Amino acid sequence: MPIPSVLVIIADGFEEAETVTPVDLLRRAGAKVTVAGLAEGIHVTGRSGITLHADAPLSSVEAVDFDCVLLPGGPGVRHLRGDPRVAAIIARQHQSNRWIAAICAAPTILKDAGVLGKSRYTAHFSVAAELPEAQLDERIVVDGRIITSRGAGTSVDFGLAIVGQLFSAEKAEEVSKSISA
Continuous segment of H or E residues that includes residue 9: strand 5-10
Strand partners, 8: 35, 70
Known catalytic residue: 68?
Answer: no
pTM: 0.98
Q: Which domains does the chain have, with CATH numbers?
A: 5-175 (3.40.50.880)
Q: Which amino acid is at 178?
A: S
Q: Which of 33, 104, 115, 142 is catalytic?
A: 104
Model confidence pLDDT, tens digit, residues 88-99? 999 999 999 999
Model confidence pLDDT, tens digit, residues 38-54? 999 999 999 999 999 99
Cα 16 from Cα 47, distance rounded (Å): 7
Contact in structure between 38 and 101 (CB atoms under 8 Å):
no
